[in-house]
């Protein structure tokens, strides 16, 4: 393999630039040319492809976002769109690709390989940490540290006013950010999509004989919790507890930005390096991940379709500490 491409796709995540840097420099070390594909699959279709070398990725390891930009492409979902993408890769002499992203990114790469035989290796870049086959995804550590910093600041206000605060974090389908940041931030209640019984626990905490005697409380909510987002949950609580008073803070996309933590930079560097080495060894349709601090390969099919479980020990600790 003489030339590979690299791109980022889906939601951005802190550490993507560190991963791009690792991909490029590992390729150069192995005397392989590298092309950067701007705006993911959209750029592949439009032929927005640029050469990259060691100097191209200087001074980016500490930067959030992605220098290669990212987007979601409806056109790539069509046969015609994928044909355009393949023609542009062939035109640029690209023989394999490293894709940095999540489920949608890997699903696209897998279908692309099935149709055109372009081998690909994925690096898990998503703050949600919901991909099967890796203990940590690129961006997760930074996201939870951003959330914890916000929780700490809000706790100061909550204590000053003796008030309940509901803090909504990202996690449409998984509660990894909520569970980790809520545990680290000392939240009294954490609501995640995976725990169906947490709504009743919340009601019990704020009502009846189980009503909390604490002057203030922090509740961390994953946006995808089955009881609804933070605003909907507060509305439902007021319907059951008329005198219930609280405030809501939605952290939103602030969790995706910012300087990546040292851990995210290390994870991204290891996975970017491993992705290129796997590609050069002839692997394809697999994601590189870290399991028990060792690099492991997981098929795209498993990474996409198997469910990664929340840490049940952390869920248990919420009840233990909330006394």
Residues assigned a catalytic role = 128
Please give the structure tokens belonging to residue 56. Answer: 């191209």
Alpha-carbon distance of 99 to 39, in angstroms, equals: 12
Helix crossing, 176-184 with 140-161: angle to 10°?
50
Alpha-carbon distance of 139 to 127, in angstroms, equals: 5
Alpha-carbon distance of 160 to 162, in angstroms, equals: 6
Alpha-carbon distance of 80 to 103, in angstroms, equals: 22
- Residue corresponding to tokens 């927005």: 48
């Amino acid at each position: 393999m003489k030339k590979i491409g690299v791109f980022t796709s889906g939601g951005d995540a802190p550490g993507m630039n560190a991963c791009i840097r690792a991909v490029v420099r590992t390729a150069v070390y192995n005397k392989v040319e590298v092309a950067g594909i701007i705006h993911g699959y959209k750029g592949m279709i439009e032929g927005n492809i640029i050469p990259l070398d060691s100097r191209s990725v200087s001074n980016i390891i500490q930067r959030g976002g992605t220098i290669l930009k990212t987007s979601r492409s409806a056109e790539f979902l069509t046969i015609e769109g994928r044909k355009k993408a393949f023609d542009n890769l062939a035109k640029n002499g690209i023989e394999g690709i490293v894709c940095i992203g999540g489920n949608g990114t890997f699903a696209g790469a897998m279908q692309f390989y099935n149709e055109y035989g372009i081998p690909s290796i994925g690096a898990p870049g998503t703050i949600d940490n919901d991909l099967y086959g890796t203990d940590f995804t690129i961006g997760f550590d930074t996201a939870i540290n951003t959330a914890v910093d916000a929780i700490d600041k809000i706790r100061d206000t909550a204590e000053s006013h003796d008030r309940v605060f509901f803090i909504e974090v990202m996690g449409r389908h998984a509660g990894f950010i909520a569970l980790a940041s809520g545990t680290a931030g000392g939240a009294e209640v954490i609501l995640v999509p995976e725990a169906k019984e947490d709504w009743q626990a919340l009601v019990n905490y704020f009502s009846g004989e189980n009503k909390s005697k604490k002057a203030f409380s922090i509740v961390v909510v994953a946006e995808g919790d089955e009881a609804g987002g933070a605003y909907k949950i507060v509305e439902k609580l007021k319907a059951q507890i008329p005198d219930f008073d609280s405030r809501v803070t939605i952290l939103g996309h602030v969790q995706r930005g910012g300087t990546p933590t040292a851990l995210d930079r290390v994870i991204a560097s290891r996975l970017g390096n491993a992705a290129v080495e796997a590609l050069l060894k002839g692997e394809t349709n697999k994601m590189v991940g870290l399991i028990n601090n060792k690099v492991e390969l997981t098929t795209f099919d498993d990474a996409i379709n198997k469910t990664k479980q929340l840490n049940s020990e952390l869920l248990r600790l919420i009840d233990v500490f909330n006394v």
